[in-house]
Amino acid sequence: MEPRRRRIDQVTDPAYVQDLDSLSMDELRDRRRVLDDLDTEFSFYRRMLHGRMDLLSFEMRRRSGEETRTLIEALPQILADGIDGPSRNTIPRDLSLTLPELVGSGNRSIDRVLGDDFLTHLPSFDDGELEGIQTMLTEAEQQVSAQRRSIYNVHDRINEEIARRYRDGLADAADLLKKQ
């Protein structure tokens, strides 16, 4: 029996986009839904990492004397804007999204990074520990961002196949109305 693979590993496997022209429209749409779900999940993880990075950055600035407020005083601003100002993308794409379970089995690096009680212990970490955590968060964010780019690439390939079918008359746009 083959071990169960993570969805991210399945969709980034070159076999996931091989012979797309042989798949039914329903199969293509199912694959695209999986990619949409993964994008939502990885976007959530990325936002969580950025939040921690913003909190850590604030704490490091506070310790260096660049910031006079306490973390509790600054928390509303940090949570609303991030340490570097408001996000450019403040309109949610899907208000009905289901948030992914934050902590899974603990086997994934993202589970280990986001599964601890970071905020509770932030003031008690020494400067060296803060630097180590910053490195760990930065590496995790880079990994999540790279995986999201991979998801987008596969999503683009599937969308190209769907568009080709409509363009070449191999799919009927009227079928979209029947699906709703």
pTM: 0.75
CA angle, 55 then 106 then 95, to 5°: 60
More confident residue, 46 or 118: 46
What number of other Cβ atoms are within 10 A of residue 1's Cβ? 3
Average pLDDT over residues 153-159: 96
CA angle, 9 then 89 then 144, to 5°: 20
| 72-81, 89-98, 116-125: segment of lowest average pLDDT | 89-98
Q: Please report the pLDDT score of residue 118 as a whole number.
A: 72
Q: Please report the pLDDT score of residue 20 as a whole number.
A: 95
Q: Please report the pLDDT score of residue 80 as a whole number.
A: 84
Residue with tokens 């994008």: 39
Task: Decide: helix, strand or coil at residue 113.
Answer: helix
Q: Please report the pLDDT score of residue 89 as a whole number.
A: 43
Q: Please report the pLDDT score of residue 8 as a whole number.
A: 92
- Provide the residue range defining the domain that includes 165: 25-90+105-179
Q: What is the pLDDT of residues 25-43, one digit of tens each?
A: 999 999 999 999 999 999 9
Could you tell me which of 31, 24, 26 has the C-alpha nearest to residue 156?
31
Q: What is the pLDDT of residues 44-83, one digit of tens each?
A: 999 989 988 999 999 999 999 999 999 889 989 888 875 5
Residue with tokens 């995790």: 140
Q: Please report the pLDDT score of residue 88 as a whole number.
A: 42
CA angle, 14 then 153 then 18, to 5°: 30
Total domains in the fold of the chain: 1
Q: What is the pLDDT of residues 160-170, one digit of tens each?
A: 999 999 999 88
d(CA 21, CA 35): 18
End-to-end CA distance of the chain: 38
- The proportion of the chain whose per-residue pLDDT surpasses 70, expressed as a percent, equals 77
- Is residue 156 situated within a structural domain? yes
Q: Please report the pLDDT score of residue 179 as a whole number.
A: 57
Which residues, other chains included, contact 56 with Cβ-Cβ below 8 Å and sequence gap of 6+?
Answer: 122, 130, 133, 134, 137
